[in-house]
Amino acid sequence: MRALLKSFWRIVFVAMVIVLSPLNISANPEQNPDIDFENSDPVEYRAVIMEIYYDQARLIAAEETIFAVDFTLGEMRFLTQVLDAKGKPKPLESFKKGDLILVQGFRHLNGGVVASLIQKLAPGAKH
């Protein structure tokens, strides 16, 4: 079951990267984190932004570092989808400390989460 869930999230992540590759977020183009999809667990949770570092394209939520990425590994482009509460693309700069967000992605081998999706949730949404 766990392997099936991992495969599902890998397919979702790759599909989102392909579909959303024209989206430009303020991620550091030098980013190229070590990602091993075979050994990285999928992550999904709702949390409040505790800190946000726009210049580094990362934030802290649920006491974890969340990385918004835009990099190419071989011929594949990895890009975090950043959306507002209505599902519309927005820059990371539109988010602020205290916002409730949905995070989907993969656990990074060195800690934190490489996000495939960061979406602002409407005020009053359940945690």
Q: Is residue 8 part of a domain?
A: yes
Which CATH number fits the domain that encloses residue 73? 2.40.50.320
Q: Is residue 91 part of a domain?
A: yes
pLDDT for residue 12 is more than 60: no
Q: Is residue 18 part of a domain?
A: yes
Tens of pLDDT, residue by residue over 35-93, are 666 667 899 999 999 999 999 999 999 999 999 998 887 888 889 999 999 999 999 99
Cβ-based burial of 71 (10 A; exposed 0-12, middle 13-18, buried ≥19): middle
Q: What is the mean pLDDT of the chain?
A: 79
Structure tokens that stand for 119 in this block: 């979406």
Q: Is residue 127 part of a domain?
A: no
Overall number of domains in the chain: 1
Q: Which domain holds residue 71?
A: 2-120
